[in-house]
Amino acid sequence: MATHTMGMPKKKSGIMDWLTTVDHKKIGVLYIFSGLFFLLVGGVEALMIRYQLIKPMNDFVSGEVFNQLITMHGTTMIFLAAMPMLIGYMNAAVPLQIGARDVAFPFLNALGFWLFFFGGLLLNLSWFMGAAPNAGWTAYAPLSTVPDALGVDFYALGLQISGFGTLMGGINFLVTILNMRAPGMKLMRMPMFTWTAFVASALIVFAFPPLTVGLFLLTFERLFGAHFFDPAAGGNIVIWEHLFWIFGHPEVYILILPAFGIFSEIIPTFARKRLFGYTTMVFATMLIGFLGFMVWVHHMFTVGLGPVANAIFAVATMAIAVPTGVKIFNWLFTLWGGKLTFPVAMLYSVAFIPSFLIGGMTGVMLSVAPADYQYHDSYFVVAHFHYVIVGGVVFGLFAGLYYWFPLMFGKKLHEGLGKIQFWLFFIGFHLTFFPQHILGLTGMPRRVFTYLPNQGWDMMNLLSTIGAAFMGVSTIILLVQLVMALTSKEYVKRDVWGDGRTLEWTLPVPTPEYNFAQTPLVKGLDTFWLEKMAGNTTVSVSEPVGDIHMPNNSILPFVMSVGLFLAGLGFILRLDYGTVGLVIAILGLATTLTAMFLRSWIDDHGYYIPKSVIEEDLRLEAEKEAK
């Protein structure tokens, strides 16, 4: 490399480093901790919901506050906890799994995170500004277009801003996975998590635009008096439902596919055996992603779209069970004949199989349109989607946390406490949600803030609330573990689980900012495992040591997001405070546009880490290994 004109920039320290970072590993940490924070917020909301329902005619909260709680619980858990944490794992693991030094667009990556973060902040600000959104996370019009409270404005603009961030993340990972793979990393050699991240990113790219459109219509309806959903003015309320679910159903797969990917990494590692039916797993993932766009009407069976539409979408929905079933059997046969060990990551993965299976079973039952007329909007549905989203996605998030925590922080989460955390969560989860199936079948509608006695629901509701308390305690233990691990000085060695199969485990701990000193050469699926079986301690490389090009940190993504946050807030305040709101909105937009202009105007070529620095790192690492 000839040009050293752009020398290494001075290292920023502390908070400024986190605000300006474009390093995918740090952005991953930001995503995961923000996601965990929102998981706690959503969890507290859930506990309040369950406490209100512990007995009939309880008056812990009013109907209005209850509706705000359920709306914010759902919205927070889906958009601000589960999805960001999964994108966090994608950031933390995907570039390392494919042997890349960063994602394709590091600046965009940072922008995506900050947009999500400020969108989430705007949404939650509603709690302190009079009214949280109260129309359910589905925000069906015209309930959501009633202009008497600001709540839904926060929903529409908060989700819009964080949605832009998610969309950017999706584009970024599609390009990264297609273009940044190390030599030899053919598509059919990619680790399963990378594959699921790829398909989920494609789903994001196709599923978020309908949401964006829907939110724009909702925003215009609320802020500027449009009448898209107003029957009196020729609008139609069903439009919102379609737009929402054309997004909403693929969203389920955006969440569950990466979780499938996490389990597909963990199960082979702790069974010491390659993933059974890798090729079918890949195609099953793609098929699920594809079919995921053809089934949204199963959320709308009772809307009155007619028997033909209902029957077609019922059968299409059933079809998804086939590739999903294939996956379950493939995991089982990965375990078959393996040598199983059970650290917490594996406990969650193994517990996922029956838990998710129950969610899948009720999923098929729900796809039967005429039966759904009974289940729909009852507690049976609440039970079903929590079995899928907690038993599938959240188990995946926890499994991933235990599994990749050493990769991200160089330390392990406490295994002993982890087992307690797991069992409390597992028991609490089933205790909370299993009785809800029965509640639904015996006539309890969802989203009711209270219920009369003598309807046969008291016992099941009590059990459900006790279960929620178990999960609450379990989460506190998780927090204790996190604090313990982050403050501990005990660092782990490279390939912490001993049986790492993919490239991320070949890296030194902590991972250097450039990831791979030399880009690896990939020889097959599970290349690290193949090398280990051939007697090597690490993987072959595909290039000599040389200068490494790195992107510069930038504060602009943060500034752009703050601008949009202010703009959103201003537009919301405009209704109540007139000019003040408008001024804030214009100021915010100007901030964002200025930052965008600066980004386009100033050339930023990044910098090089000189060969000498990398050689020194390699020497130190070799010394450490020798010890």
Partner 1 sequence: MVVKKTGKMLFRLLPIGLMALLLSGCGIPELSALQPRGEGAEIQLEIIKLSLWVMLFVLAIVTVIYVYVLMKFRRKKGDNEVPKQVEGSHTLEMIWTVIPILLLVVLAVPTIKATVELADAKEAKKNEVINVTANLYWWEFDYPDKGVTTGQELVIPVGKKVALNLTSKDVIHSFWVPVLSGKTDNNPGLENEMWLHAKEAGTYYGKCAELCGPSHALMDFKVIALEQADYDKWLEDMKAAKEAETKQLDAKNEKNWSKGEQVYAQNCLSCHGGGKVAPSLTNFGDRGNLAGYLKHDKKNLEDWIRDPQKLKQGTKMPGFNESQISDEDLSELADYLLDKKIQ
| From 136-144, 243-251, 472-480, 556-564, span contacting partner 1 (CB under 8 A) | 136-144
**Shortest Å, Cβ 417 to partner 1:** 22
**Shortest Å, Cβ 500 to partner 1:** 14
**Shortest Å, Cβ 444 to partner 1:** 8
| Residue where the block lists tokens 């059933």 | 318
CA proximity to 399, closest of 252, 277, 511, 267: 267
Q: In whole angstroms, give the CA distance from residue 119 to residue 567.
A: 11
Report which DSSP code applies to 124: H
Tell me whether residue 377 or residue 543 sits nearer to partner 1 (CB atom).
377
Q: In whole angstroms, give the CA distance from residue 23 to residue 436.
A: 43
Q: What residues contact 240, with CB distance under 8 A and at least 6 apart?
A: 139, 140, 141, 144, 214, 217, 218, 228, 229
Site for partner 1 (CB under 8 A): which residue of 9, 186, 188, 455? 455
Tell me whether residue 313 or residue 404 sits nearer to partner 1 (CB atom).
313
Site for partner 1 (CB under 8 A): which residue of 25, 222, 376, 414? 376
Footprint on residues 64-123 left by partner 1 (CB under 8 A): 64, 66-67
Tell me whether residue 493 or residue 624 sits nearer to partner 1 (CB atom).
493
Q: In whole angstroms, give the CA distance from residue 405 to residue 410.
A: 7
* Cis geometry, peptide bond prior to residue 142 (ω within 30 degrees of 0): yes
Site for partner 1 (CB under 8 A): which residue of 429, 449, 558, 571? 449
Footprint on residues 186-245 left by partner 1 (CB under 8 A): 231-232, 235-238
Tell me whether residue 175 or residue 326 sits nearer to partner 1 (CB atom).
326
Site for partner 1 (CB under 8 A): which residue of 143, 226, 462, 469? 143
Q: In whole angstroms, give the CA distance from residue 91 to residue 466.
A: 36
Site for partner 1 (CB under 8 A): which residue of 1, 130, 374, 580? 374
| 3-class state of residue 402 by DSSP | helix
CB 296 within 8 A of CB 203: no
What is the enclosing helix (H) or strand (E) of 624? helix 611-626
Footprint on residues 288-347 left by partner 1 (CB under 8 A): 302-304, 306-307, 310-311, 314-315, 318-319, 321-322, 325-326, 328-330, 332-333, 335-341
Question: Taking CA 539 as the corner, what is the angle to CA 537 and CA 540, rounded to the nearest 5 degrees?
Answer: 125
**Shortest Å, Cβ 230 to partner 1:** 8
| From 358-366, 475-483, 552-560, 597-605, span contacting partner 1 (CB under 8 A) | 358-366
**Shortest Å, Cβ 362 to partner 1:** 8
| From 20-28, 372-380, 465-473, 550-558, span contacting partner 1 (CB under 8 A) | 372-380
CA proximity to 150, closest of 138, 123, 132: 132
| Residue where the block lists tokens 């949600």 | 433
Q: How many residues at the interface with partner 1, by CB under 8 A?
A: 91
Site for partner 1 (CB under 8 A): which residue of 122, 369, 609, 614? 369
CA proximity to 300, closest of 229, 354, 372: 372
| Residue where the block lists tokens 């915010």 | 588
Tell me whether residue 419 or residue 611 sits nearer to partner 1 (CB atom).
419
Tell me whether residue 321 or residue 427 sits nearer to partner 1 (CB atom).
321
Q: In whole angstroms, give the CA distance from residue 482 to residue 231.
A: 52
**Shortest Å, Cβ 333 to partner 1:** 7
Q: In whole angstroms, give the CA distance from residue 313 to residue 319.
A: 10
| From 99-107, 166-174, 193-201, 375-383, span contacting partner 1 (CB under 8 A) | 375-383
Footprint on residues 499-538 left by partner 1 (CB under 8 A): 533
Q: At what angle do helices 238-271 and 278-291 cross, to 10 degrees?
A: 170
Q: What does the block give as tokens for 90?
A: 């994608």
Footprint on residues 379-418 left by partner 1 (CB under 8 A): none
Q: In whole angstroms, give the CA distance from residue 314 to residue 75.
A: 26
Buried residues in 362-398 as b, exposed as e (16+ CB within 10 A): bbeebbbbeebeebbebbbbbbbbbbbbbbbbbbbbb
From the number of C-beta atoms within 10 Å of its C-beta (0-12, 13-18, 19+), residue 238 rates as middle
Tell me whether residue 62 or residue 179 sits nearer to partner 1 (CB atom).
62
Footprint on residues 1-60 left by partner 1 (CB under 8 A): none
Tell me whether residue 33 or residue 51 sits nearer to partner 1 (CB atom).
51
147 binds partner 1 (CB under 8 A): no
**Shortest Å, Cβ 276 to partner 1:** 6
**Shortest Å, Cβ 582 to partner 1:** 30
**Shortest Å, Cβ 270 to partner 1:** 9
Q: What does the block give as tokens for 525?
A: 């699926």
Site for partner 1 (CB under 8 A): which residue of 31, 198, 451, 528? 451
**Shortest Å, Cβ 377 to partner 1:** 4
Q: How far is CA 288 from the centre of its chain?
A: 18
**Shortest Å, Cβ 291 to partner 1:** 13
Buried residues in 87-104 as b, exposed as e (16+ CB within 10 A): bbbbbbbbbbbbbbbbbb
Tell me whether residue 364 or residue 477 sits nearer to partner 1 (CB atom).
364
Site for partner 1 (CB under 8 A): which residue of 358, 388, 550, 572? 358
Q: In whole angstroms, give the CA distance from residue 505 to residue 508.
A: 8
**Shortest Å, Cβ 199 to partner 1:** 19
**Shortest Å, Cβ 379 to partner 1:** 11
As beta bridge partners, residue 608 has 549
**Shortest Å, Cβ 90 to partner 1:** 26
| From 155-163, 253-261, 436-444, 543-551, span contacting partner 1 (CB under 8 A) | 436-444
Amino acid at 453: P
